[in-house]
Chain A
Amino acid sequence: MAEKLLQVRDLYLYFRTMKGVVQAVDGIDLDMNRDDALAVIGESGCGKTSFIRAILRLLPRNVDTYKGSVVLLDTDIMKLSDERFRTHVRWQQMSMVAQAAMNALNPVLKVGDQVSEPLVVHRRIPKKQALAQAAEVFRMVGVPADFLDRYSFELSGGMRQRAILAMALITQPDLVILDEPTSALDMLTQANIMNVLKGIKRDLQQSFIFITHDVSTTSELADRGVVMYAGHIVEISSAEQFFLNPFHPYSQKLMASVPTLKVRKDLEFIPGRPPTLINPPQGCRFAPRCERRFDLCEQEPPLFALEDGRQVKCWLYK
């Protein structure tokens, strides 16, 4: 049995806005083992990014509710003070590749300086040594070491992405969170980055959570798929099961919208739009768009545990 890495229970993250309270993360439970690669899949605005922000405590100013428990290797990191969280959790245990990673490099710092910053900040390692380690990680992600001495604008998109990835890996954290790591890249670079990630997963047994709305690239890397809809997790299953036979009606629709090479099919879409998270529908949140809804859908379904460790939040699987 693999070691338990992350255990999320009843995680809530609400934001205050002019229009009302946005229930971006609305009671999420999730377990993750070491060496797991977890793909969080969902449409835009379903709370994926808010979910990992809640884990990493990267919160904007307008937080309304932020509660629950996030146990990372026996420590409930929700109970840590901000300062302790900053110095002991961020980049020591968890690192993140931010969304729009292309712009995540400081334009006025050299890439090497920046990639080695976490070591300087957290480990108090002298600059020179930190740079040597950065060169090491650069090699791992496939960036020539002499790029350390360049500024971010001198790097191509793929290079930048890899530099950011190097930065996330440099402290060898327990968990790396990738927020849409390939969203702004061309197909070839995407494939390249995915291969780098696969290599890292294979060689370092690195645990990943990565967020995506690109189902196809996910299939390459993920061990398990987590589908989010309107601030809830609606399905958790192993990658194979998920891609071959999704259970939740939303997952099924999601998969049906992805083109496949071998089978000729009409692409489907889901009518309507994801509900606003300010005033989410009562009961099952997917019900208004669901073709298979019935009376029970008036009430909110729990996350049913099925065989093979699959979990589905739908009355159909009662």
Chain B
Amino acid sequence: MRRLKSLFMTLGKYPTSIIALVIIMVLLTVSIVTVITIPYSEARRLWSTSSQAWEDYPKRAEPVWTNWFRGGGSKLPPTIIRSTKDVEPLSVESLGSAGVAKETITEIVFDFPYRVHPSELGLTFDAVFETSAPFARITWITPDGREYQVYDSAIYKRRHSLSSDQPLQRALGTFPLLGLFSSPDETLRELSYETATTPQQGTYTLRVLARTFEAESTLDVKLIVYGRVSGIAGTDHMRRGLIIGLLWGTPIALMFGLLAAVGSTMVTFIIAAIGVWFGGWVDSVIQRITEVNLMLPLLPILVMLGIFYTPNIITILGVVILLNIFSTAIKTYRALFMQVKNSPYIEAARAYGAGGFRIIFRYMIPKVAPILIPAFVTLTPGYVFLEAALAFLGVGDISLPTWGKILNNANTEGALFQGQFYWVLEPAFMLLITGLAFAMLGFALDRIFNPRLRGI
């Protein structure tokens, strides 16, 4: 404990290491909180393509905070959701003599002060009935009082997209999104996305006339004006909030990086010690395996593995460790152990009859072990990047949200061609600060533990 404290005191002398420690602490906290608040199964469910969790989110929306950097006129609209459930109906009338059927008129109102069109318009119906479906007639009222009937039908499906409603487009003579937000002085037929001006600002009203035909039947209508900004990380082409991927990517990246670094380094270290101690053919075999292994291309092997076996992240981790055991580090450690092997105290241990493995684990390894600590830290970002690279190449668990997976999606969906830089920059930023933090800490630790660098 005292030594740990003195280690931190020494680290304090290197400002970069303090920054690094802060970043790592933040990443660790994020990881822990994420894993606790969004359990693994929940994360998988949220990220799966069939998830309904995201249906009220816009596609490809930028992060909300990007609006901070936009002037008043060019702020992007966020998503606006209004439901008839939340407002009192204007009138409720019984229809016919049986008294079962009802006609309810409700108006939902929203302000639209933005000069950029929303991305989509949608309705969600929440209908409760047994045999006869409710009926709805929905009228869109612009701030200047023009009325457009946007829906007039029985409820036959839960979701209805206004912005891609073909009959409505024919009736309006232009794209619904442009027509419904047009100014009174515009001719609808001439509107197109090329000539479109700004949407009309003001208070829009949606009048919902709902008819239900059963005693217990109800109908609630929800209007979703899909915005162009959403959440603190934006959304992807499947409306999923990137935040889930960014958050869940953190524990996965850290786990993968640290386990791969620690696992491969420790095994390498022990194998190097065994090779040096027993020498002869044992050493030769280890060295030859290393030389062959150094020739093997890691990435193509992993991609091949991914194609043939669709392995999960743990399997990939295992293979990565396995392929990195016989790495160049074995040569470095071998040189260190060679020196240690000839120390007088090793000789003394031999003289009192200590066995080979006792000497390796009690005498040789503890002596050199401190240099492993910077090695763990400096090797970690490499494996974090490797994991991202593999996910980017589509190797590994498809349903697990990771930084590499987000980059993969951004790539296949052409995020950069459509100007959605946030989609690429966010995971890239996470990778960058992770790499930076570990690298900075690693350099500081290296100076502390590596006597040759001390004082430089």
Interface of A with B (CB < 8 Å)? 56, 58, 61, 86-87, 89-92, 95-96, 98-101, 103-109, 117-118, 121-122, 164, 167
Contact = CB atoms under 8 A, between A and B. Distances in A.
B352 A117 contact: yes
Nearest to B350: A58
Interface string B336-370: 00000001110111111111001000110011000
A95 B353 CA distance: 9
Contacts of A87: 353
A58 B347 contact: yes
5 contacts: A95-B351, A96-B352, A98-B347, A106-B367, A117-B349
Interface of B: 279, 343-345, 347-355, 358, 362-363, 366-367
Nearest to A164: B348
B350 A121 contact: no
Contact of B367 (A56, A99, A107, A164): A107
A61 B353 contact: no
Contacts of B350: 58
Contacts, number: 64
B346 to A, nearest CB: 8
B284 to A, nearest CB: 13
Contacts of A98: 344, 347-348, 351
Contact of A92 (B351, B353, B363, B366): B353
A90 B353 CA distance: 5
A121 B353 CA distance: 8
Contact of A90 (B343, B352, B366, B367): B352
Contacts of A90: 351-353
A107 B353 CA distance: 19
A109 B353 CA distance: 17
A61 B279 contact: yes
Contacts of B353: 86-87, 89-92, 118, 121-122
A103 B344 contact: yes
Contact of A100 (B344, B354, B358, B366): B344
By Cβ-Cβ distance, the 6 closest A-B pairs, closest first, are A90-B353, A104-B348, A103-B344, A108-B366, A91-B352, A118-B352
Contacts of B366: 106, 108-109
Contacts of B362: 106, 109
Contacts of A95: 351-352
A104 B347 contact: yes
Q: B279, B345, B347, B363: which has the most chain A beta carbons within 10 Å?
A: B345
A106 B345 contact: yes
Given A100-B344, A121-B354, 17 more contacts: A58-B347, A86-B353, A89-B353, A90-B352, A91-B353, A95-B351, A96-B352, A98-B344, A98-B348, A103-B343, A104-B344, A105-B348, A106-B367, A107-B367, A117-B349, A121-B353, A121-B355
A106 B351 contact: no
Nearest to A171: B352
A167 B344 contact: no
B375 to A, nearest CB: 18
A9 B64 CA distance: 92
Contacts of A96: 351-352
Nearest to B344: A103
A103 B351 contact: no
Contacts of A122: 353
Contacts of A101: 344, 348
Nearest to B343: A103
A122 to B, nearest CB: 6
A104 B349 CA distance: 8
A103 B363 CA distance: 13
Q: A106, A107, A121: which has the most chain B beta carbons within 10 Å?
A: A106
Nearest to B347: A98
Nearest to B370: A108
A93 B15 CA distance: 57
A122 B354 CA distance: 8
Given A61-B279, A109-B362, A104 B354 contact: no
B451 to A, nearest CB: 13
Contacts of B279: 61
Given A106-B363, A107-B367, A108-B367, A167 B352 contact: yes
Contacts of A167: 348, 352
Nearest to A89: B353
A106 B355 contact: no
A187 B350 CA distance: 30
B354 A56 contact: no
B354 A117 contact: yes
Contacts of A164: 348
Contacts of A109: 362-363, 366
B345 A105 contact: yes
A156 B366 CA distance: 23
